[in-house]
Amino acid sequence: MSAEVTSRVIRIALCGNPNSGKSTIFNYLTGLRQKVANYPGVTVSAHTGNFSLSENPDTEYSIIDVPGSYSLSAMSPDEYVAVQTLIGSLDRDKSQDGDPGSALDLVLVVLDASNLDRGLYLLAQIAEAGIPTVVVLNQIDIAERRSIRVNENKLSEIIGLPVISAVAHKGRGLDRLKELIANHTQIPPAKSLHRFNTDVESFLKEYGISNNVNQTASMSRPELIRALFDRRGPAEGRFLRINQDHASEKLEKLRGHLAKEYRGLPFAEAYPLAKTMSEIAEKVISHTGKKRVSGTDKIDSIVLHRFWGPLILLGIMVIVFQSIFTWAEPLMNLIDSGTSAVGAFIGSMIPEGALRSLIVDGVIGGVGSVIIFLPQIIILFFFLGLLEDSGYLPRASFIVDRLFRWCGLSGKSFVPMLSSFACAIPGIMATRVIESRRQRLLTILVAPLMSCSARLPIYAVLVSAFIPFQSYFGIFNSQGLTLVGLYALGMVVAVIVSLTLKATALKGESESFVMELPTFKAPTLKGIWIRVSISASAFLKRAGTVIFAVTIVVWALSYYPRSPELQSAYDTQVAQIEQQSAASLNSVNNSDSLIQVLSNQLAGENLRQSYIGRMGHTLEPVFRPLGWDWKITIAALSAFPAREVVIATLGTIYNLGKGQDETSGSLVAKLREATWDDGELAGQPVFNVAVAISLMVFFALCAQCGSTLAVIQRETNSWFWPAFVFTYMTTLAYLASWGAYNLVQALGF
């Protein structure tokens, strides 16, 4: 019997308003590397972690970090996750025996002590589920700075639940939380904190069950409340499926009475519930002194200023992208040298042939040419983490809202779009916090235009190789400003596209923008480190999987087929040169030089006759107007699985194609040396400023990312929108690249 009890998994839900400190508590309990940030909507899907406690070493605790929500009214996809977690699967009636394993043992509700009314509203809705609940009164330090004191004992007495005070980011109060979790069986089920009017209570009694969420024949009280107040919601669908006779008529009749009495169905729940919670808050809150102007208010007067705010935001962005070049260069040089040394060492132990070429040129050269940009990506994520953790991002959202509201985007689009600078996939998923379907779809369609970290290696190598370095005012330089321009290009085009869609396919009125401004906080090194380490690991994983696979494919297409006739002719000529050198007074150096010329010619001819060479030559006329040769064309086309593959592909092609020793220099040097193979431009450099800018502009605007398109399909539940994104972005990229190439050439660069 004892073994049965100790082996049971205790399921816990962690709930609360956005920015209440939920994810910090989640990390504290589980030790998992869960992203923590100081703005609403960080958690866009429920995450689960496991932990154990010393008091019950044989018991496993499974905790679900539910997305932050202000209520259980599911107005956006992330809020619906909270509803599903707390009241069980709304589709469990499809099962004959229900899903008893999904029942929660405990709910942890995190309340912001400085905004108690708002948190109590959500708590009241959660309490309807009748699950044992612990209230964590978090951020009491912020409340104290605002001269607010919450009497936790009195609050606990009123709501009938245990309440603990905490400062989660400092670990204060969390040991007490662990004690309560360990003794969760002693915590009573939550009871309703609010009673609706007689008509509503009669409806809930007629169709409901008493705290038995696993019974398939009827619905629990919280489910029925959602079915009543969330018109056309998933709970209503379940209600109509399991209740046939006149249930629909009764539901609509009651809704009509409530809408008339409260001037709208949503207000029929919100007004009385908010009033009750406000009365509770008044009983437990006291003000300890005169309210002072906080440091946050003083900072906001500057960073939210109509004139200075946008300038500060622009300055921050310039500094961020300027630093990416300045700080990363020494580490990049070190990685480049290390990669070359590894290639030389391994190559010296393998005989000349396909295996040596595969390992040295394909694997080490290809993947190494991507890993070299890891320092720049780390710097980018460091700054993003700094801005998130400090609380600046919501302010930036308000600034952007004022600037871009006219084009159909709102301030809530800013966080997903800024996340897309790191990767469009989490950026698109973060749009779940946007209630308006129209604004959410607009944001999804333009988010891939933000220059993600996968584009950064392409920018970095081309800027370093072909944009002349010029310093301005001793602070800025031409290379850093070029990078800023490329990032700005995506943003400007996103505004234009959004404005166009707003006037055509996605017409509609602009919705109002409401977002909580959290208190400014000193960023925590742990929080920033979590973000940087996760992002860097994800990048390396991509380099070790997708990029590695594509690199091998590109190497094989570049290496095969091999012509025995060409190799035989080369061997015959080399033998003749060596024989003549031995029989004459010619120096060995001269014969070696002749052999090297023949080797370069053989490599070039092998590459032209390879599968990838044939493909490139076939498609070259399409991209010739952009200034590209067949090698650049192949590199661009191979990037569809992941954009960063471009650099690996270029490294593979030029390592093979020029007959250079793998330790003869970096990819930058190889690109500078690249020449046209044939035609009227034969022997002339392939790359110049115009070609480099053409290629960078193309990748700034193209949709070369299969994973992003797959996520768009999943989020929109339609293949039309990913096809639309790929079509419009590829068309824009080609036209803009053509225009940039011809403009730069006309300017004489």
Residue 236 has pLDDT above 90, yes or no: no
Q: Rounded to an integer, what distance in angstroms lies between the CA atom of residue 423 and that of residue 537?
A: 13
Query: pLDDT per residue over 338-366, tens digit each?
Result: 877 888 888 888 887 778 777 876 677 66
CA atoms in the 13 A half-sphere facing the CB of 525: 0
95 three-class SS: coil
- Does residue 104 contact residue 86 with C-beta atoms inside 8 Å? yes
Of 186, 212, 234, which one is at a domain's C-terminal end? 186
pLDDT at 656: 40
pLDDT at 342: 83
H or E stretch covering 724 = helix 720-746
- Residue closest to 131 by CA, chosen among 2, 220, 197, 62: 220
Q: 742 is written with which tokens?
A: 């011809």
Q: Distances from the Cα of 416 to the Cαs of 11, 44, 419, in angstroms?
A: 31, 11, 5
Q: 629 is written with which tokens?
A: 């040769």
Query: pLDDT per residue over 595-627, tens digit each?
Result: 766 776 676 677 677 887 788 888 888 998 998
Classify residue 284: in a domain, yes or no: no
pLDDT at 5: 45
- Does residue 461 contact residue 651 with C-beta atoms inside 8 Å? no
Classify residue 131: in a domain, yes or no: yes
Q: At CA 311, angle to CA 309 and CA 313, rounded to 5?
A: 70
Name which of 57-66, 79-88, 260-269 the model is least confident about.
Answer: 79-88
More confident residue, 405 or 457: 457
Residue 500 has pLDDT above 80, yes or no: yes
In this prediction, residues 681-690 reach a mean pLDDT of 82
- Considering the domain architecture, whether residues 16 and 107 belong to the same structural domain is answered as yes
Residue 257 has pLDDT above 80, yes or no: yes
DSSP letters, 258-305, are HHHHHTSHHHHHHHHHHHHHHHHHHHHEEE-SPPP--HHHHHHHHHT-
Q: Rounded to an integer, what distance in angstroms lies between the CA atom of residue 149 and that of residue 170?
A: 19
The total of structural domains in the chain comes to: 4
- Considering the domain architecture, whether residues 426 and 314 belong to the same structural domain is answered as yes
CATH of the domain at 121: 3.40.50.300
How many CB atoms are closer than 10 A to CB 347? 18
Of 542, 573, 595, which one is at a domain's C-terminal end? 542
- Considering the domain architecture, whether residues 238 and 344 belong to the same structural domain is answered as no
How many CB atoms are closer than 10 A to CB 59? 17
- Considering the domain architecture, whether residues 336 and 435 belong to the same structural domain is answered as yes
Classify residue 2: in a domain, yes or no: no
- Bridge partners for 164 per DSSP: 136
pLDDT at 97: 37
Q: Is 289 exposed, middle or buried (0-12, 13-18, 19+ CB in 10 A)?
A: exposed
Classify residue 699: in a domain, yes or no: yes
pLDDT at 215: 45
Residue 3 has pLDDT above 60, yes or no: no
- Residue closest to 25 by CA, chosen among 107, 80, 123, 128: 107
In this prediction, residues 740-745 reach a mean pLDDT of 92
- For the chain, report the end-to-end CA distance as a whole number of angstroms: 82
- Considering the domain architecture, whether residues 532 and 564 belong to the same structural domain is answered as no
Write out the residue range of the structural domain in which residue 227 sits: 198-263
Q: 352 is written with which tokens?
A: 């000349």
- Considering the domain architecture, whether residues 510 and 388 belong to the same structural domain is answered as yes
- Considering the domain architecture, whether residues 549 and 521 belong to the same structural domain is answered as no
- Does residue 89 contact residue 102 with C-beta atoms inside 8 Å? yes
Selection from 328-337, 459-468, 672-681 with the highest mean pLDDT: 459-468
- Does residue 399 contact residue 310 with C-beta atoms inside 8 Å? yes
Query: pLDDT per residue over 119-130, tens digit each?
Result: 899 999 999 888
Classify residue 566: in a domain, yes or no: yes
- Considering the domain architecture, whether residues 232 and 132 belong to the same structural domain is answered as no
720 three-class SS: helix
In this prediction, residues 11-21 reach a mean pLDDT of 86
Q: 682 is written with which tokens?
A: 């034969």
H or E stretch covering 51 = strand 47-53
pLDDT bucket at 40, cuts 50 / 70 / 90: low
Q: 519 is written with which tokens?
A: 């208190």
More confident residue, 235 or 199: 199
Classify residue 277: in a domain, yes or no: no
Query: pLDDT per residue over 472-495, tens digit each?
Result: 776 777 888 888 888 889 888 988
Q: Rounded to an integer, what distance in angstroms lies between the CA atom of residue 68 and that of residue 45?
A: 10
b/e code 307-318 from CB counts within 10 Å (16+ = b)? eebeebbeebbb
- Does residue 295 contact residue 520 with C-beta atoms inside 8 Å? yes
- Considering the domain architecture, whether residues 668 and 724 belong to the same structural domain is answered as yes
More confident residue, 69 or 109: 109
More confident residue, 178 or 382: 178
- Does residue 358 contact residue 560 with C-beta atoms inside 8 Å? no
Of 542, 572, 594, which one is at a domain's C-terminal end? 542
Classify residue 297: in a domain, yes or no: no
- Considering the domain architecture, whether residues 54 and 178 belong to the same structural domain is answered as yes
pTM: 0.60
Classify residue 424: in a domain, yes or no: yes
- Considering the domain architecture, whether residues 215 and 333 belong to the same structural domain is answered as no
- Does residue 627 contact residue 690 with C-beta atoms inside 8 Å? yes
- Considering the domain architecture, whether residues 536 and 550 belong to the same structural domain is answered as no
In this prediction, residues 166-173 reach a mean pLDDT of 86
